[in-house]
Amino acid sequence: MMGSNLSLRLLRNHREINMMTLDTTNMCSHLQQKLFDEDGEYHRLWMAMQDDAELTAVVRSRQLHIYRNGKKVLVLAGKSAPKILREDPICEMIELI
């Protein structure tokens, strides 16, 4: 029983993305709300990332760094504006918000 409780607590801090685990422990809480809440500002982007095998993401400095084929295209933060680094279809979704 104790092992399953530990697993549940650990799962709350991880999200699945392209068959990889994204550790949200160090992600800004505002960004987590924007990404994972159904009414969040970036939720559509998060759902699109789930279906795109070329995209990967890493949490660094409380921000989400998004890569396509190993090249950084976008950085999302909780309170500051997104940083578009390269033209990419995922970035077009940000411009529509």
81: its two tokens: 């504006």
- pTM score of the predicted model: 0.77
Do 57 and 31 meet the contact criterion of CB atoms below 8 Å apart? no
Cα(57)–Cα(66) distance, integer angstroms: 4
Q: What is the pLDDT of residues 65-85, one digit of tens each?
A: 999 999 999 999 999 999 999
Taking the domains of the chain in order of start, what are their residue ranges?
2-96
CB 31 within 8 A of CB 63: yes
Instruction: Give the pLDDT band of residue 96 (cuts 50, 70, 90).
Output: low
Per-residue pLDDT at 72: 97
Query: What does the alpha-carbon distance between residue 11 and residue 7 come to, in Å, rounded to a whole number?
Result: 6
Q: State yes or no: pLDDT of 20 exceeds 80.
A: no
Average pLDDT, rounded, for the chain: 81
